[in-house]
Amino acid sequence: MLKIIFSLIMSIAVLFAQDVSFKSTEDKTILVELYSSEGCSSCPPAENWLNGLKNNPELFRKFIPLAFHVSYWNRLGWKDSFSKSSFDDRQRNYQRYGNTTSTYTPQFVVDAQEWRGWFDAEPLPLKEQKSGILHASIHRETVTIDYSNAHETYTVHSALLGFGLSNNITTGENGGRVLEHDFVVLEHKSEPFTKGSITSTKLHSPTHAKRYAYVVWISEPNSGVIIQATGGWLN
For β-strands 30-36 and 63-69, DSSP reports them as: parallel
Minimum mean pLDDT among 7-11, 33-37, 176-180: which range?
7-11
Whether 2 and 193 have beta carbons less than 8 Å apart is answered as yes
- Chain centroid to Cα 198, Å, comes to 22
Q: How far apart are CA 74 and CA 71, in angstroms?
A: 5
Average pLDDT over residues 216-234: 92
**Amino acid letter, residue 17:** A
- The confidence band for 222, taking pLDDT boundaries of 50, 70 and 90, is confident
In total, the chain counts a number of residues equal to 235
Domain that holds residue 60: 2-233
Mean pLDDT for all residues in the chain:
88
State residue 85 phi and psi, 5-degree precision: -65, -25
pLDDT at 197 over 60: no
- Model confidence over 202-213: pLDDT tens digits? 577 888 999 999
Query: In the chain, how many domains are there?
Result: 1
Other Cβ atoms within 10 Å of 157 Cβ, number? 20
- The percent of residues above 70 in pLDDT, for the chain, comes to 87
